[in-house]
Amino acid sequence: MTKLKTIYLTTGYTTALKRIAMRGGALREIKFHATCVLWEHPREGYILFDTGYSPRFFDETKKWPMWIYAKATPVVCKEEWTVKAQLAKKKIEPEDIKHVIISHFHADHIAGLKDFPTATIWCSRTAWREANSLKGFAAVKKGIVPALLPVDFEKRVCFFEQTERKSRKDAFEFHYDIFEDEAIQIVNLPGHARGQIGALFTSDTNTKTLLAADAFWLSESLEKNVYPSRIVGLFIDNWEEYQRSFQKIRGFMHRFPEVEIVSCHCPRTFERCEVLDES
Ligand SMILES: [Zn+2]
């Protein structure tokens, strides 16, 4: 199996009460960072899993109705924190990113997408169908800010569903082997957002990981089997599917305790990230 050099990056954060992310949690504000993963694949080159925030988010949410998004999630981010700026410090140019994998189309996952103009964009067809069809208030209600999508998206997109589907003997039943080497195995995790996916991979240090995107927010909630507050219905596409995906991950967690399960916004994921200058 191809192993991937892996770096976690954070691009900024929003704050919310812990109780929002986990029923019965403390009435204490915590930072939910928008993290991304940079992989180096020996044949495919640099790959991003999500692109996080960018100040472009502020530009595109100034006006009604997108303004609702900015009000619902007060965001802290700046140019130096974008993936593009952090990669520049590593001497990685935007054109060096060959693939961007989108877990789902919420703005905190795709605000940086326009910074990688030559990358192949990977997403689920289901997710794209929704993101491409919703406009105005209907879009913002689903966490989608259409102006964050590159205009040439359809020329650059590759759908997971076009790649080989391999059966699995665990809760996920199958995955898409997008590079035909099992390096990145895409599993469906719908519910939080339409067509959301997660990715299984093995790092070059032999750590097996499931990136679960927003299928849960806090690792503690997964471990204790506690769902988010009902208030976040606004950010959830389908509760029943959310719960099904959540329970699939729990089943996987119990069966494969050696696999790390990482969500995008958990403070524990932030601890894996390279430190930002917060001044
Ligand atoms: Zn999301």
Q: What is the pLDDT of residues 163-176, one digit of tens each?
A: 999 999 999 999 99
- Sign of the CA dihedral 104, 107, 112, 117? positive
What pLDDT, on the 0 to 100 scale, is given for residue 72? Answer: 81
d(C-alpha 38, C-alpha 17), whole Å: 29
What tokens were used for 178? 């997008």
Residue 33 is predicted with a pLDDT of: 95
pLDDT, tens digit, for every residue of 214-249? 999 999 999 999 999 887 776 789 999 999 999 999
**Ligand 1 centroid – CA 238 distance (Å):** 12
The highest-level CATH class for domain 5-270 is alpha beta
Ligand 1 mean position to 14 CA, how many Å? 12
Tell me, in angstroms, the distance from the centre of ligand 1 to residue 108's CA. Answer: 7
Q: How far is the CA of 217 from the centre of ligand 1 (A)?
A: 9
| Cβ–Cβ under 8 Å, residues 53 and 12 | yes
Residue 265 CA, ligand 1 centroid: distance in Å: 9
Percent of the chain residues topping a pLDDT of 90: 80
The CA 264 to ligand 1 mean position distance, Å, reads 9
**Euclidean distance between CA atoms 32 and 113, whole angstroms:** 20
Q: Say how many Å lie between the CA of residue 104 and the centre of ligand 1.
A: 7
Condensed to tens digits (0 to 9), the pLDDT of residues 75-133 reads 889 999 999 999 999 999 999 999 999 999 999 999 999 999 999 999 999 999 999 99
Sign of the Cα torsion 42, 43, 46, 47 reads negative
